[in-house]
Structure 1
Amino acid sequence: MIGYVGTGGSFLGCIQYCLNDKKELSEKQKADLSQKDGLKHHGRAEILSYNRCFGNPKELAQQFRDVAKLSKRVEKPVFHFSLRLAPGESLSRNQLEEIGHECAKEFGVANNQYICVLHKDTSEQHIHIVANRVGLDGKAASDSNSYKRMAALCRRLEKQYQLREVLSPKAFLTPNERLLPRNDSRKIQLQKDIRQALIEVNSFDQFTTRMKELGYTILKGRGIAFIDSKKVKIKGSEVGFSLSKIEHVLALKQKLNNNLAEHEKYKKATEERVKKHKSTGYRLSLDVKFESMIGQSPFIPTIMEAASLLSVLLKSELPFELIPYELTMEGYRNRKRKERSKGRRLHN
């Protein structure tokens, strides 16, 4: 389970975000996404519970504001929480409502005004709680150590509801726990997208265009960072692709492509020379000579070196379309077998 906690000054803005459909999507887009994803993009929000409040967003916001006026010292009276289950996990409506109440209790607002809302536009179940930090008695709930408290709440709820356990943020772990491997699906996906984009493109402009098509905003300065569709910013270095590494990969690809082009020219020129001297009597020996001459191309060492470095930098096997089959290890071995076979036939 992953939790979020934040404070703010606008009850209406927070409540509208939680209750209203996404304004940036048209009705057709919502319908298309609903059919594609099997999720609710229209009518995505369902209120699980009202606590000491009622009504539509404007009415709720006014009620919250009226109570918040009881404390003149609180500049940010809005408490906003969200709790998201891991992929593949699900709880009943009543259980999610219970979790919302546990969250309100943990942060001292169980007796304050709050609403608990279920969102249905993602594959992972998640709820939002909008609460008033100011109670009916005029006292304000503390927002200190909120991230640490949220992490502790998530670990407790995971055990209580037998959910998949997730590591808390590193700041709240013991030194030994910080050494445990973490599984961040957002970073894993970004890493895959960067790797695939680098395989597909040949220049930095093409790379930025491809990443934008995948839904990322790119920030480039002394380093590089990516902002995904959820407005989460991740540095390239955090997923193993710093700006210098990306530029190195693209430079190697340019070098590889240039040498492949030169190799093709060499191959065609060799083929033309062999054709001029070809006759029926020497056909077989010239075929062997041609294969040998291609294998002696001065561009092959550079091509193999660049391909090997690319494979290491991308930490994956390069697809065959980047390198002609004859220059792959399998193609090289196959060519050598043919040369040996033809050589034996000449001697017989």
Structure 2
Amino acid sequence: MIGTVTTGSSFYHCISYCLEDKQKLTADEKIKNELTEDLQHKNRAEVLAYNYCFGNKQELADQFHEVARLSKRVQQPVLHLSLRLAPGEKLDREQLVAMGKTLAETFGVGDHQYLTILHKDTREQHIHLVANRVGYDGKAVSTSNNYFEMDQLCRRLEKEYHLREVLSARRFLSQEQRQIPRHDIRKEQLRHDLQQTLQKVNDYEAFHKQMQQLGYKIIKGRGICFLDDKKVKIKGSEVGYSLATIERILAIKRQLQEKQLQKIATALQPKQQKQAIHLSRDRQKIQRSIHPTSNMKDWENAVEKEINRSIGQLQKTLNHLLYDLTKPEPMQESISPELLKESERLKKKQRHLHL
């Protein structure tokens, strides 16, 4: 199970997102996707529970806003929570309602305004909870430790509803648990897309365009990050493709391409073709392979065939080289606690000697 926590300032926009269908799909596309994917894209949202609120999205937003005005200090009164089950898992409506209530109580908004919504347009069953951080007493719930609370809640719900148990976020794990290898489908997909893209392109502009077509948003600074269609951010270094690695691969590919073009251009120059013909010791062998009655055109065709064969071998060698070149950098394994302690001990000893 995966949980998310966000805060904001606009109740209307948050409630609209949760209650409305996806804007990027037309009516025809919704019907087509429903037939092919067995999902509900039209009227995708089902409200599971209203708590101290009612009405349409505008009425709900107005009610939330009126209560939020009781606190003049809170600039982000919107609390948006979500829980997503693992692929293949499914709970009934009653269980989802109970899970939403537990979610609200965990974050201290059980007696505040909130509504719980089920989305039916994804293969992974998931619910949203939009709550007012400000209560009727004018006090707002704290947002400190929200991520830790969500992490602990997910682990607790997995056991309570007999769902697939997964590891918590790395920062919430003990040193021993961090040694356990993790299986991350998103990172594997990004690593595959990066390798395939780097095999096709030779400059950064083409690389950026190709990754955008695959659905990634690129954030480039001192390093490079990729945002997928679910807004999940992954650093390039986490999958073996740091910005320096990507730039190095593209630079080497450009150099190889330039050398390849020079060789092809040289091989196709008519004067050098004639010199190669006169100087080659294999000229007679090639001539014998041609029918005795052949003319100069036959000879030129044979030479061109030989050149094309050489170019083909060069291209094949280049392809193998590029495949090896675009492999991701090996990821560093987790460092054991014993090695970290030994490293600290040596550093202290070195500082002592220096003094």
**Does the TM-score normalized on the shorter chain lie above 0.5?**
yes
Which deviates further from its counterpart, 39-48 or 149-158? 39-48
Give, in angstroms, the shift of residue 264 of structure 1. 11
The corresponding residue for 1:48 is 48
Give the AA of the match of 1:311. Answer: D
Give the AA of the match of 1:25. Answer: L
The corresponding residue for 1:337 is none
Question: Using the alignment, how far apart are the partners of 1:17 and 1:306 within structure 2?
Answer: 47
CA pair 302-219 structure 1, distance change in 2 beyond 3 A = same
1:76 counterpart = 2:76: yes
1:118 counterpart = 2:118: yes
Question: Using the alignment, how far apart are the partners of 2:314 and 2:209 within structure 1?
Answer: 32
The corresponding residue for 1:343 is none
Contact 1:256 1:307 (C-alpha < 8 Å) held by counterparts? no
Contact 1:33 1:41 (C-alpha < 8 Å) held by counterparts? yes
Give, in angstroms, the shift of residue 15 of structure 1. 0.9
Secondary structure, aligned partner of 1:101: helix
Question: Using the alignment, how far apart are the partners of 2:227 and 2:187 within structure 1?
Answer: 11
Q: Which of 320, 327, 335 is residue 314 of structure 1 equivalent to? A: 327
The corresponding residue for 2:149 is 149
The corresponding residue for 1:103 is 103
The corresponding residue for 2:352 is none
Contact 1:47 1:118 (C-alpha < 8 Å) held by counterparts? yes
The corresponding residue for 2:217 is 217
The corresponding residue for 1:173 is 173
What is the aligned length? 304
Secondary structure, aligned partner of 1:314: coil
Question: Using the alignment, how far apart are the partners of 2:134 and 2:311 within structure 1?
Answer: 77
Question: Using the alignment, how far apart are the partners of 1:248 and 1:49 within structure 2?
Answer: 54
Which deviates further from its counterpart, 237-246 or 70-79? 70-79
Secondary structure, aligned partner of 1:95: helix
Which deviates further from its counterpart, 202-211 or 42-51? 202-211
* Paired residues for 1:122-201 under 5 Å: 122-201=122-201
RMSD after superposition: 3.4
Contact 1:256 1:306 (C-alpha < 8 Å) held by counterparts? no
Secondary structure, aligned partner of 2:153: helix
CA pair 81-204 structure 1, distance change in 2 beyond 3 A = same
Contact 2:241 2:328 (C-alpha < 8 Å) held by counterparts? no
The corresponding residue for 1:276 is 287
Contact 2:249 2:325 (C-alpha < 8 Å) held by counterparts? no
Question: Using the alignment, how far apart are the partners of 1:203 and 1:24 within structure 2?
Answer: 31
The corresponding residue for 2:250 is 250
Give, in angstroms, the shift of residue 246 of structure 1. 2.2
Give a deviation string over 1:263-318, Cα, whole Å, max 9, x none: 898799799834224479xxxxxxxxxxxx99xx89979975883574264269xx
1:39 counterpart = 2:39: yes
1:67 counterpart = 2:78: no
Percent identity between matched residues is 51
Secondary structure, aligned partner of 1:115: strand
Secondary structure, aligned partner of 2:140: coil
CA pair 66-219 structure 1, distance change in 2 beyond 3 A = closer
The corresponding residue for 2:332 is none
Contact 2:50 2:116 (C-alpha < 8 Å) held by counterparts? yes
The corresponding residue for 1:18 is 18
Give, in angstroms, the shift of residue 132 of structure 1. 1.6
Give, in angstroms, the shift of residue 100 of structure 1. 0.7
Which deviates further from its counterpart, 242-251 or 268-277? 268-277
Secondary structure, aligned partner of 2:144: coil
CA pair 279-112 structure 1, distance change in 2 beyond 3 A = closer
Contact 2:253 2:322 (C-alpha < 8 Å) held by counterparts? no
Question: Using the alignment, how far apart are the partners of 2:265 and 2:165 within structure 1?
Answer: 55
Question: Using the alignment, how far apart are the partners of 1:279 and 1:108 within structure 2?
Answer: 89
